[in-house]
A and B are shown apart, each in its own frame.
Chain A
Amino acid sequence: MEISPDLIVFLKIGGFTLSATIVFTWIVMGLIVITAWLSTRRLSVEPPLSHWQNLLEIIVTYIREQIREITLQQPDKYLPFLGTLFLFIVVSNLLAIVPGYSPPTGSLSTTAALAICVFLAVPVYGITQQGFIGYLKHYSQPTVFMIPFHIINELSRTLSMAVRLFGNIMSGSMILAILLSITPLFVPIVMQVLGMLIGLVQAYIFAVLATVYIASATRIQEEKVQS
């Protein structure tokens, strides 16, 4: 039993290791992209809509509404990043039901990568909204002595995001593995369902936290503009 899919190595060329994390990530990516491509090849403006189009529209609409409610801004500029974050984590987690599959989100490398993306996206969106200097100014609010704390805040929340997601998914897999060895019948099924629920909730938490961080970086600018 491997704790992390990083430890499953398919190919190693020099310093580059092709682990199960990357492979399963490609599988997840391929699944999402192919589904999206197949579903959006023939979109219909007027009813009747295909089931897949209907499902995707519901998902996209739901994500947009969530972003709109949290950021109180137009959601479309945040949708590709935050939506992809949510969809990738959800699909990665839900596919854990497939035997032999190891969710990439159970790898600290993956969650760290996603957390780094969020860590980078926050200043990118902030600078896009209020400019480089304007964005940096909020680090000195309310006093310049708060700059180190702001930086620590940024780093710690990124770390917490990565570890939270990794810990939940990894623990779910671990518990399932342990239960399989103790009570191989019935109980693992319940835990599998619970694991899927946890995966869904964690995806939602990760995406919502990312949205909140981006919103906090962009709404400061709006409040200043209003004042």
Chain B
Amino acid sequence: MQIDYFTIFAQIINFLVLVLLLRHFLYGRIIKTMDEREKKIESQLQEAAKKKKEADEEADSYRKMKKDFLIERDGMLEAAREETQKIQTELSKKAADEVNENKAKWNEEIQREKDAFLNNMRFSASKEIYAIARRTLHDLANEELEGHIIETFVYRLQKMDDDEKKKMKEFLEKKQDVVIKSSFAIPESMRQSILKTLQDNSGDGLNISYLLSPDLISGIELSVKDIRISWSIGSYLDSLEDELSRMLQIPSEDIKTKGEGYGDAKG
């Protein structure tokens, strides 16, 4: 083991030269490259962090927009719900009104049909009662009854008021024909009684003609110009008909109009 001082010195120089060479060719370049890479990565990380921040902000913005949208949607849904409720209420009310209106119409229709039915029933009943009474009286008419009728007729001729008597007299004095209608044949005795009564009122020379008119139910009628003196059961029946109509709240005109087909006798 020996030490060569020249070699030591040379090795020191060699080592220092190597240090300088490697500092230039190795460490400097490698460290510079790694530093650049580190800076680049750092900048990329910063860029990534910046983009992440921007993305977070954007995400927050979208979250806020979503929240606002949800709130707006809820509001719109609520408004739509209220509107629907309102429309539903209106439609329900309208439907109820229509139902009530239709119900009222139906009730009115039913009432009208009921009234018409009752009216028809009343009309038919009154006409039936009238027809029965008329037929009954017609069937019951006989000579005794006819005698009473003529007497009543004569009595009415005698009991005319002054105005009627005056008109009658004026007519009879002109020697006009006097027509006496009756539903039955007037016996001669009765004709004389009638003639006498008329002559008492207006003197002699009367020309009286007698006509049979079955329409006058058990009745007799004298007509001179615009004067008409009569008595018949038909007039009572007419009164009965009027009274029935009044009682059944049916105007007599309606009954008369509708009852033309049943036959009539007016005095």
Contact = CB atoms under 8 A, between A and B. Distances in A.
B140 interface: no
B22 A87 contact: yes
Contacts of A36: 21-22, 25-26
Contacts of B8: 109-110, 112-113, 116
A22 B1 contact: no
B127 to A, nearest CB: 123
Contact of B25 (A6, A40, A107): A40
A57 B33 CA distance: 9
B15 A60 contact: no
Interface residues of A, number: 47
A130 to B, nearest CB: 23
A5 to B, nearest CB: 9
Given A36-B26, A108-B3, A22 B34 contact: no
Contacts of A4: 1-2
Given A45-B36, A112-B8, A29 B17 contact: yes
B30 A22 contact: no
B19 to A, nearest CB: 4
Interface string A56-97: 110011000000000000001001110111011000000000
Contact of A108 (B1, B17, B22): B1
B18 interface: yes
A110 B18 CA distance: 14
Given A22-B7, A33-B18, A40-B29, 9 more contacts: A3-B1, A15-B6, A19-B7, A25-B14, A32-B22, A61-B34, A107-B7, A113-B15, A116-B12
Interface of A: 3-4, 6-7, 15-17, 19, 21-22, 25-26, 29, 32-33, 36-37, 40, 43-46, 53, 56-57, 60-61, 76, 79-81, 83-85, 87-88, 104, 107-110, 112-114, 116-117, 166
- Which are the 5 A-B pairs with shortest beta-carbon distances? A113-B11, A109-B7, A36-B26, A80-B23, A40-B29
